[in-house]
Structures are given as C-alpha cells and as structure tokens.
Structure 1
Amino acid sequence: MRKHHPKFISKIELGKGIPSVSYNLRHGGAALIDRKNPRQSLPALMKFGEYLEKNKRSGVIFPEGTRSKNGKPKPFQTKGLEVLFKKTPSALIVPITINNSWKMLRYGKFPMGLGNHLKFTVHKPIELATFADKQELINSIEKTITKSIES
C-alpha cells in the first residue's frame, strides 16, 4: 500500500494522544471527522475527496463505522462513500475484508486479545466509472465484504 500513499478517514479522537499515529493523521492528509457532528464531516469529506483526486492518492474508509462487538458487521454508513464517489470520479475501489479484528478488544482495552489471528481478504478492484447507480455499487461492495466474514 505504501506506493499508493493511502490517506485515512478517521474519527477526530484519533488525531490526538497516540504517538506517531496522531501526528500522521493530523499532518499527512487524512480526514478527521467528528461523528457526533455531521455538519462538520460532510465538508471535510468533500475536501478529502478533492485532495485524493487532485494528488492521485488512495483513500481508506471504514464504512461500517465502529467495530462490531461480536464479529457480525453493522450496516454501512453510505453518506461518506457517496461523497467520495462524487468527488473522485476516477477512483478504483478495492474492498477489503478484515476478519477477527473484533476479538482484539472483545474485553475492552484490557486485557487486549493477544494471539488472535487477523485475516485480510483483498477483493477484486472495481472501477467507479463502470457503475451508473452508486447505490447499487455500495450494495455490491457491502455484500462482497460481508460474504467473506468468517464467524
């Protein structure tokens, strides 16, 4: 992923207090959004999408939002995807399924779930331009990701 210069969309709380990570999120081109304030997040996502398109960077979004507590994925929050699709018409979408990440914080922050095996599945890339109906594309991505979740 390094050669694609990934930039992340993350909650604003991650922008402070985590050495190196917070600094990179604040100064590296990421979009920090306040999930409690949708009025702030939409302009931030628009600016982020324009930045990605202009600089040919890749964006990483977790449309499920908060990690599930039992491994069953929550429904996608589609607004962020819709904004990014509008602002980055030349995008190539690569859905990725992450299995067992919920086990890391199953008991809260302590004890951390050490020894869990995380499995990443990188799915076939999709060209945004090939889909006229963006909602159909979002449903297709969600189905692809959720189908690969292992219980």
Structure 2
Amino acid sequence: MIRTAIFYVTLVLATIFFGAMAAVVALVGGGRVWMDRANRGWARSALAGAGVRVTVHGLEHLHPSGIQIIAANHQSYFDIWALIAGLPASVRFIAKQELANIPMLSVGMRSAGHVLIDRDRARSARETLREAGDRMQAEQLTLVLFPEGTRSRDGQLGRFRRGSFALALATPAPLVPAALDGGQRVYPPGAKRVRPGSITVRLGPAIQPEGAEPADRKTLLRRTRAAIEAMLPEGGSSGGASR
C-alpha cells in the first residue's frame, strides 16, 4: 500500500507540474521539443513513483523522420507512460474519450496534446482522425493507437477494431506494430494496488499500408495483429481477429 500511495502522490504532483508546463508551451508556441519534455517528464515521474522499469527492443524499426503510426496491444494504463518514456520520438496518443473520466490521466493527456476520440460519434471521430493525421505530418509526430479499443482484462491479446486502422489507410505513414508485456502485472484493469515491476516494449518491422478499401483495412488488421501476437510471450492470443 505504501508504494501505491507514493505512486498517486507522485502522479498528482507530476500531472500538475508537467501539465502546467505543457499548457504554457502551447500558449506561447514553445514548440514540439518542449512539449516532448513535458510528456516525458510526466511519464517518467509516474513510472518512477510506481517503481516500474521500461525496456525497449527494436528501436531500429522506428522511421527516422519520426512520422509514423504505432499500433500496440493494451494491458494497462502504464502502457501509455511506458511508450512515452521509452520511445525516442514525439509520441502522442489516440485514445478513447472515456479517459476524460480519469482526472489525473485525462488532464495530463489533454495538456500534452494527445487526442481523445469519441467512438460513439462516427462523424466526430472521423474529423478528429483527419486533424490528427494533419498534425502528424506537420509536427512530425508518432501517433499511437490501441486497436483492441480497451485494456485486456486478462493480459491476453484481444479482438482488434477495424475502425482503428482508418488513419493508417488515410495517410502514407508507415505502421509499426508494438507488443507490450508487463503492464498487466503492474496494474491490471480493476486493480487498487500498484505493483513494482517491469514493462517490455518490442517493436516490429514497419508495415506499409496499401490501398484504402474495406478489404485493405481487414488485411492491414490481420497483418498487424499477427505481428504483435508473434512478439508476445506464448503468442499472447485470445479471441478472434476483428470486429
């Protein structure tokens, strides 16, 4: 319980400090570098407060320009901090609007320029994705999405949502599959205690989307899911391929 208390105190203080820093950067036009510093400071503080280490393999698969989409499995809220802290890129997330109901997480994400999307309003979601794609190109961002749509309840790889790949098909940016392991042990869905531990991030070779037809989206989904599944311990598979 002591570790959990330390984590929450650290998270609150880090969110206030780095959230304010990000807000000031956005207000004065401080640029991507300072926004990245706010992002990484927030993420590293949260990880340190929880006693969580992050190890990354496959950094050579990231595009030199920094413009790319990363599709990752989702085990824990800590996946967000692990990717921000572990990747040498300007990482921003495309996440579900429901995160706005988690005060410390939503404040930090909104302040740092991450994208919260309302999946229940298709027109609004498409417009948000279009704007996110424009930002990715203009600001040389690495956008991260979780095709499962939510955290895995048991740590296994769940079904992928076809709609998650709309942005990948609408832009020329390469898609990099990422497999995260360890978050489910650190802080699984529904948990009340944080457990110190480690999260491993494995990046696979980039997949270049081809075409923009419904059949192409299904093919991209299957290729991405297979790549992530292959990088998880014991395949990490449960459930079907899509929905």
Instruction: Choose 1 or 2 for highest CA Rg.
Output: 2
Q: Would you say 1:60 and 2:144 are equivalent positions?
A: yes
Superposition RMSD in Å: 2.4
d(CA) in 2 for partners of 1:104, 1:39: 36
1:2-151 to structure 2, matched below 5 A, reads: 2=88, 4-15=89-100, 17-18=103-104, 22-82=106-166, 84-89=167-172, 91-106=173-188, 108-112=190-194, 114-128=195-209, 131-132=210-211, 133-150=216-233
Q: Distance in 2 between matches of 1:117 and 1:29?
A: 26
Report deviation, 1:59: 0.6
Superposed CA deviations along residues 109-134 of structure 1, whole A, max 9, x for unmatched, are: 3123x134322111112333xx3434
TM-score normalized with structure 2 length: 0.51
Q: Separation in 1 of the partners of 2:129 and 2:108?
A: 18
Could you list the per-position Cα deviations for residues 37-76 of structure 1 after superposition, in whole angstroms to 9, with x for gaps in the alignment? 4443222112211221233321111111111111221111
Q: What TM-score does the superposition give when structure 1 sets the normalisation length?
A: 0.78
Which structure 1 residue ranges, 5 or more long, are not aligned? none
Cα distance in 2 between the residues matched to 1:49 and 1:139: 22
Measure how far apart 1:23 and its partner are. 4.1
Q: Unpaired segments of 5 or more residues in structure 2?
A: 1-86, 235-243
* Closer, same or farther: CA 102–27 of 1 in aligned 2, 3 Å: same
Q: 1:72-128 CA distances to partner (integer Å, 9 max, x unpaired)?
A: 21111121212x124322x1221110113222334723123x134322111112333
Query: Higher RCO, 1 or 2 (CA under 8 Å, sep at least 6)?
Result: 2
Which residue identity does 2:153 align to in structure 1? Answer: K
- Identity percentage of aligned residues: 25
The residue number in structure 1 matching 2:55 is none
User: What count of residue pairs does the alignment treat as equivalent?
Assistant: 143
